[in-house]
Structure 1
Amino acid sequence: MFKRMSILERRPGDDQSFFSRHWQERHGPLVAQLPLIRAYVQNHVEDEYAPTDFRVGGIVELQFDDPSAMATAFAASPSLAVAADEANFLGNAAGYVIGDAPIRLAGEEGKLVVLAAHGGDRAALGRFEAALRKLPEFVELIRDEVATVMTRPGATRASQGVDVFFHVYFTEVAAARRAGSQVARLAEDALKLGVFRVRTVRIV
């Protein structure tokens, strides 16, 4: 399955509660009307662990059969309503092409999404991933490597530079909460990190 991620930022002045409510209740059903979507998952930020180098209100996971199916979906007439609604809750956004990768819901488990930029030091990234796998109550890790960055038309800022999205699952929400501050302290000088505990919602 062809996978695309997106980082969504809140509008200036909006709090996380408003952003999440509108995204899930109003915007999500509009995106669900796009044709050819195989999966659409919203990752709602519940906790953010300092220090962070990224601005994140939510993280999108979308799956299609292939890139042409994605292009067809976003060119279809329902995409007009999706685009029109963005001004009602969205500050800035960027898309990241991942390629062939899975999507897993957290359910009752806890989940962290870690954004990483390695600055060319892939060895540091490898050490970081190994440390993630040793965290208490760790269950599973999905590593999404960014192939291409897609800048949103009309974006007011440059896309945030992400090389890898780590989806890290734990036995329960409390375990993910405890791990978040530990993960934020694992960064080496070469790595820029954003560490977020998320609540997953499957729309499609």
Structure 2
Amino acid sequence: MIKIVAVISKKPELSREEFLRHWNDDHPAYVRRLPGIRRYRQNPAIDHPKSWPFDGMAELWFDSVQDVKQAYAGAAGADLLAHEELFLSDMQWFISEEVEIDL
């Protein structure tokens, strides 16, 4: 299984509540339309007096790197990226293979 891991930063003019509304409430509909998506997880940074370097982290699972390429090559990928421009100021990401370690 291949996973996109993305750390994200909200637009500075958005409140935390506005950012989370865009990300938690509106954005999943765009992700669900990606062909080949297997799983999606959002990890918002906790509200804390400390200023975190990122506002959240997202994980998107696919069967292969080719499936990632196909998902973002079409209209659904373009729509998703356009929606992210409404609430993200920055996104850093990479593709990984998850390795689970028994504890």
Q: TM-score, normalised by structure 1?
A: 0.45
Shift in CA distance, 48/66, structure 1 to aligned 2, threshold 3 Å: farther
Aligned residue pairs: how many?
102
The match for 1:125 is none
Paired with 1:32 and 1:26, the residues of 2 have a C-alpha distance of: 11
Greater C-alpha Rg: 1
Higher share of residues assigned strand = 1
Q: CA deviation at 1:27?
A: 1.5
The match for 1:66 is 64
Unaligned residue ranges in structure 1 (runs of 5+): 103-139, 142-204
| 1:51-200 correspondence to structure 2 within 5 Å | 55-101=53-99
Whether 1:42 and 2:42 are equivalent positions in the alignment is yes
Tell me if structure 2 keeps the 8 A contact 1:22–1:89.
yes
Paired with 1:73 and 1:33, the residues of 2 have a C-alpha distance of: 9
Q: Deviations over 1:56-112 (max 9, x none)?
A: 11110111111111111111211121121122111110112221346xxxxxxxxxx
Paired with 2:21 and 2:45, the residues of 1 have a C-alpha distance of: 12
Query: Which of the pair has the greater relative contact order for Cα pairs under 8 Å at 6+ separation?
Result: 2
Shift in CA distance, 95/68, structure 1 to aligned 2, threshold 3 Å: same
Unaligned residue ranges in structure 2 (runs of 5+): none
Indicate the SS of the match to 2:46.
strand
The match for 1:133 is none
Higher share of residues assigned helix = 2
Tell me if structure 2 keeps the 8 A contact 1:3–1:64.
yes
Q: TM-score, normalised by structure 2?
A: 0.85
Question: Over the residues paired in the alignment, what is the CA RMSD in angstroms?
Answer: 2.2
